[in-house]
Structure 1
């Protein structure tokens, strides 16, 4: 039991690093979008990531099996759907609204886990998810209505929720290198199609912002972060995964404030603090509750 808890702790710590990495890459991505389309950036980001992961994983892959390819393709479709829906949502509503509604995956994942896998929802999960949702609303400073942009954001949240839930389920049943590489390749191919349709061409404007954004996101935010996330999900739950990853907008906000000359109000800073409290509540609850149950004579 102690060994399992230790693995879970390391997995959760890894997800903290992933959330920080994704948050840090928000600013260079935003700058690159001034001169390049989102699908063009995604195409090159995931193409480079696929090539790098393929090279890295050559000596680690034991076998390339159809099951791992199928699982990677399914997860890749949901991941791309999240990126695409979020992009189009930004055309119809405020970015803060999109960010908040997308962040509702902290609520969706626990209930999707219950519906599809009958996973119990513990009290600390409710507390952590509720605090994270309130914090997200404060951090995003959203003005909520309900139109096309909000609807697309809602579908985006479900797409990301399914990606996290299914990745956590599939990663325990297949060859992880093959699954993640397939996921990257699917996102790359779908991004290429959308770049041609919506942006006329996938040929980028090779300015400094594009090179920095693609270089950083392909290596750190894609190869490292997605692979680390999938490894971590072997030892922790999708519910804790999505809660910990709410660090992304917190880190993005502070990076924008300190390095991008962006303004954070006291209300938004308080929201970031509330998110951190929600993550901490979930994290402590997942370790303390089993100990209490064992002391009272219950099975975990």
Structure 2
């Protein structure tokens, strides 16, 4: 039964990865019609009100420790989306999708800080490959690390912290309550930043309304609700590897819908990052098993 629940959780997280992959394209388009922090403010507050209506009874029973945990997770959530959305103004959706996915390599090291469990050699190698991929993907011809790529790298750190804290708190807290509270926290912070750092908006275009509703309902409400519930039945690192597939979906959708250029450099950088993700999460166990099976099948029994 536990194994069946784990399979359902993994499949649910795959759906989340597809939704988030499409989010890079939708967000990139929406930034032509609305500023980053107002986009986030609308996105998170609409999601909070919808979730608040549906789960009002559960939210009313939330204790102080639930609010503390939810707000901490929400701070990391806001940090991730703020740096990601602002960064998308200065880089391509395809590049950002793959750099954001590097959070999967960071999760074991954050877990090390929490549990004192040191990363193994595979995770160390993965970090080297990951940063090599980021360098190939992001450094410009004059060896300058672009502003958009820098913000996206910071966003990956925030999302690694977000995944790790959800994994830590979801075992002892109602995941739905955590979802609602973290989205409220992100909404409040987004609103404050929008009012402080961006010009007041007087009108929202139809294109912006579509993007806001898509990101609020699918990219936030449904995706984070599913993530928080699914993480109750699987590990943080397992969650990270599945959610990292958003980079693949995001890169493909950016090439198809945004007509972003496809270059050899882009391909090599993406491959290096994907190999780093596979290294840290699978330890290449599937190759070891195949070699062992081949060796065993080649042995001849003596009578």
TM-score by length of 1: 0.79
Residue 241 of structure 2 is matched in structure 1 by: 243
Cα deviation per residue 1:172-201 (whole Å; 9 max; x = unaligned)? 111222211111111111111111111122
1:193 equivalenced with 2:192 (yes/no): yes
From the CA coordinates, give the structure whose radius of gyration is larger: 2
Residue 84 of structure 1 is matched in structure 2 by: 82
What is the rounded CA distance, in whole Å, between the counterparts of 1:234 and 1:216 in structure 2? 26
- Structure 1 segment 1-300 matched on structure 2, within 5 A: 3-58=1-56, 63-89=61-87, 94=91, 102-119=100-117, 121=119, 140=137, 142-143=139-140, 145=144, 152-201=151-200, 203=201, 205-269=203-267, 272=270
Partners of 1:135 and 1:274 within 8 A in 2: yes
**Cα shift at 1:67:** 1.3
What is the rounded CA distance, in whole Å, between the counterparts of 1:18 and 1:186 in structure 2? 21
Q: What is the SS of the residue equivalent to 1:64?
A: coil
Q: 1:142 to 1:244 in 2, by over 3 A?
A: farther
Partners of 2:99 and 2:153 within 8 A in 1: yes
What is the rounded CA distance, in whole Å, between the counterparts of 1:249 and 1:162 in structure 2? 18
CA-based RMSD: 3.4
TM-score by length of 2: 0.78
**Cα shift at 1:126:** 5.8
Q: What is the SS of the residue equivalent to 1:234?
A: helix
What is the rounded CA distance, in whole Å, between the counterparts of 1:44 and 1:272 in structure 2? 32
Report the count of equivalent residues: 285
Partners of 2:71 and 2:181 within 8 A in 1: yes
Q: 1:196 to 1:157 in 2, by over 3 A?
A: same
What is the rounded CA distance, in whole Å, between the counterparts of 2:258 and 2:125 in structure 1? 33
Partners of 1:15 and 1:232 within 8 A in 2: yes
What is the rounded CA distance, in whole Å, between the counterparts of 2:88 and 2:26 in structure 1? 18
Partners of 2:139 and 2:146 within 8 A in 1: no
